[in-house]
Amino acid sequence: METALTPIEFARRARRLYAEREAVVDGELRLTYSQFLDRCGQWSSALQGLGITKGDRVVYIAPNTHSHLEAYYAVPQIGAVLVPVNYRLQSDDFEYIINHCGAKMVCAHPDYFEAIDGIRDKLTAVEHFVALEDSAENWIDYEAALAAHSPEFTEVDIDETDLLTINYTSGTTARPKGVMITHRNAYMNIMGSLVHHHLTPADRYLWTLPMFHANGWTFTWINTARGMTHVCLRRVEPPLIFKLIKDENISMFCAAPTVLIGIANAPEEIRAGAPRGVRLFTAGAPPAAATIEVIERDLGWELTHVYGLTETAPLITVCETRPEHQNLPVEELAKIKARQGVELVSSGELRIVDEYGNEVPHDGETLGEITVRGNVVMKGYYNDPEATNAAIKDGWFHSGDAAVVHPDGYAEIRDRFKDVIISGGENISSVEVEGCLLRHPAVLESAVVGMPHEKWGESPHAFVILQDGASVSEDDIKLHVRDNLAHFKTPSWVSFVEELPKTATGKVQKFVLRGGKAGITRQ
């Protein structure tokens, strides 16, 4: 009586239970679950007609649109493998990923037609190019293909260990790696998220998080599992976010800390009228306690910090509050919520270990590496056994994240190991210094990296974006850190910048700052 654990099962259930409920909103387009899943079936049928079979890779390059969302059902339910690609990459990155995964089909939004057409002759395995919107010469028209097919497609046997998606890492320091996520990986992540965060068919979800980012943290399937409404957002801009939250009665969304900073610092006239009680997940980088304070105190929203990696499908931990936390002052509660937290019930086992593989003491001080094993850990890196073996050792996935464990068992990331600053023999957490900087009223964003220092070996260099209209000196910034942290953590240098180099998922590219590749100079 066993059946495969697969997120495709949620589509069957949604059709049965929520057929007439609103499933998708994309601008003027509104689809019920019956209409949405019929479209998924039509595209599955069209894919099979075009020769896409079990195991074939299908690349998508698109923002958060209804046609992109349909891919998370239409492609895997015929046994094919979805490859959602970061649309902010360059043509040579597209070329590498498409060829590396051996894609048989590329589906793209019109914004990327030119980039793909420019490398078409180099995409040796691709047989079909599909225009998800509009029409173009030598591109298959997506809507026309749907219209030519019925929702009935040929069902295939799917095993839970089959590949569901290949998600390419951001490739900030090397070529992107293709993370192989199975049907079981995603299913178990979904179930853990549902256990720890209560959602109902009344919830309406705003797609602020890119769908390509670890399958939208699996909310591409979570929302459907609960019969929620997917509200698509094609551009992540605070005015548009607040407009949709108000107009579409949004109750839930996910966002990286960099997006939260934009939301928290939006002008009052934009924030005015936003409903209180909106819930959100944040992950992708450790959020500053100061940002959490603004989101919860000023907006009245409920923030939950989660942690994971693309390689863990993606969530490993959730920083869920306990009854004893409820009476804490806002500032103290924000510090706890900034931690990565505890294992999700379905994700598997998390240990923070020293260089010898021994678990570190739960003292909130001893640094170790986050390691994970269990249901959500990837099958491996696609076509890259060397990288797989380097990441998974003795049955444990090694994250590269440096963290401590507090006496209550809550994990807290202090840095990526490669970003820990060692100054005069002392370890300095760049995350801690960044959090301190964000408490300065003139600071909007910050990033801290280690730079060579004649006396100390290396020392912190702070890159700071100021609030609009703010004026502050380098010495003022240094004094603020000195007054709030140990003196050796004070930056030796402060650069005021207009922007920070980031990946598409909001992570600051610290290697760019360290190498001076962004042309960043002091003002």
Higher per-residue pLDDT: 383 or 265: 383
Higher per-residue pLDDT: 321 or 219: 219
- As a dihedral over the C-alpha atoms of residue 438, residue 443, residue 449, residue 454, rounded to 10 degrees, the angle is -120
**Residue 220 in this model has a pLDDT that exceeds 70:** yes
Looking at residue 173, its pLDDT comes to: 53
Fold of 424-515: GMP Synthetase; Chain A, domain 3 (3.30.300)
In the chain, where are the structural domains located?
Answer: 29-183, 235-416, 424-515
Q: Whole-number mean pLDDT of the chain?
A: 93
Looking at residue 47, its pLDDT comes to: 98
HSE (CB half, 13 Å, CA atoms) of 422? 5
Looking at residue 148, its pLDDT comes to: 98
Report pLDDT digits (tens) over 74-127.
Answer: 999 999 999 999 998 889 999 999 999 999 999 999 999 999 999 999 999 999
Q: Percentage of the chain with pLDDT > 90?
A: 79
CA 386 vs CA 169, 178, 311, 393, 437: distances in Å: 16, 13, 15, 12, 39
Q: What gap in Å lies between CA 211 and CA 327, rounded to an integer?
A: 36
- If one counts every other C-beta atom within 10 angstroms of the C-beta of residue 175, the result is 14
Report pLDDT digits (tens) over 165-219.
Answer: 999 987 555 688 999 999 999 999 999 999 999 999 999 999 999 999 999 999 9
Fold of 29-183: Rossmann fold (3.40.50)
Q: Give the model's confidence band at 331: pLDDT under 50 very low, under 70 low, under 90 confident, else very high.
A: confident
Statement: the pTM of the whole predicted model exceeds 0.85? yes
- If one counts every other C-beta atom within 10 angstroms of the C-beta of residue 498, the result is 8
Q: What angle do CA 81, 85, 91 make, to 5 degrees?
A: 125
**Tokens 């609103």 appear where?**
22
**Residue 402 in this model has a pLDDT that exceeds 60:** yes
Q: Which of 250, 207, 256 is nearest to 68 (CA)?
A: 207
**Are the C-beta atoms of 58 and 52 separated by less than 8 Å?**
yes
Name the token pair of 132.
Answer: 């998800």
Name the token pair of 52.
Answer: 């896409």
- If one counts every other C-beta atom within 10 angstroms of the C-beta of residue 96, the result is 18
DSSP-based three-state secondary structure for 55 = coil
Name the token pair of 118.
Answer: 């420019």
Q: What gap in Å lies between CA 255 and CA 177, rounded to an integer?
A: 23
**Residue 136 in this model has a pLDDT that exceeds 50:** yes
Q: Give the model's confidence band at 519: pLDDT under 50 very low, under 70 low, under 90 confident, else very high.
A: very low
Residues 6+ apart with CB under 8 A from 479: none
Name the token pair of 204.
Answer: 């309406």
3-state secondary structure 397-426: EEEEEEEEECCCCCEEEEEEHHHCEEECCE
Q: What gap in Å lies between CA 286 and CA 419, rounded to an integer?
A: 13
Looking at residue 74, its pLDDT comes to: 98
Render 335-399 in DSSP notation, one character per residue: HHHTS-BEE-TTT-EEEEE-TTSPBPPSSS---EEEEEESTTS-SEETT-HHHHHHHEETTEEEE
**b/e string for 286-323 if b means 16 or more Cβ within 10 A?**
bbbbbbbbbbbeebebebbbbbbbbbbbbbbbbbbeee
DSSP-based three-state secondary structure for 491 = coil
Residues 6+ apart with CB under 8 A from 155: none
- As a dihedral over the C-alpha atoms of residue 23, residue 25, residue 31, residue 33, rounded to 10 degrees, the angle is -10
- 470 φ/ψ angles, rounded to the nearest 5 degrees: -80, 150
Taking residues 266-270, report their average pLDDT.
93
- If one counts every other C-beta atom within 10 angstroms of the C-beta of residue 328, the result is 13
CA 429 vs CA 338, 358, 361, 414: distances in Å: 14, 22, 19, 6
Looking at residue 257, its pLDDT comes to: 85
Name the token pair of 47.
Answer: 């894919």
Give the pairing type, strands 426-428 and 229-231.
unpaired
- Give the H or E element holding residue 246: helix 238-247
DSSP-based three-state secondary structure for 301 = coil
**Tokens 């295939």 appear where?**
156
Name the token pair of 190.
Answer: 């979904």
Burial class (CB in 10 A: 0-12, 13-18, 19+), 393: exposed
Higher per-residue pLDDT: 464 or 416: 464
Burial class (CB in 10 A: 0-12, 13-18, 19+), 268: exposed
Least confident piece of the model among 39-48, 118-127, 258-267, 461-470: 258-267
- Amino acid at position 87, single letter: Y
**Are the C-beta atoms of 309 and 167 separated by less than 8 Å?**
no
Domains 235-416 and 424-515 share a fold: no
Class of domain 235-416: alpha beta
Higher per-residue pLDDT: 511 or 76: 76
Residues 6+ apart with CB under 8 A from 108: 60, 61, 62, 116, 129, 130, 131, 132
CA 89 vs CA 92, 112, 117, 309, 513: distances in Å: 8, 10, 15, 19, 19
**Residue 291 in this model has a pLDDT that exceeds 90:** no
Which neighbouring-strand residues pair with 401?
A: 416
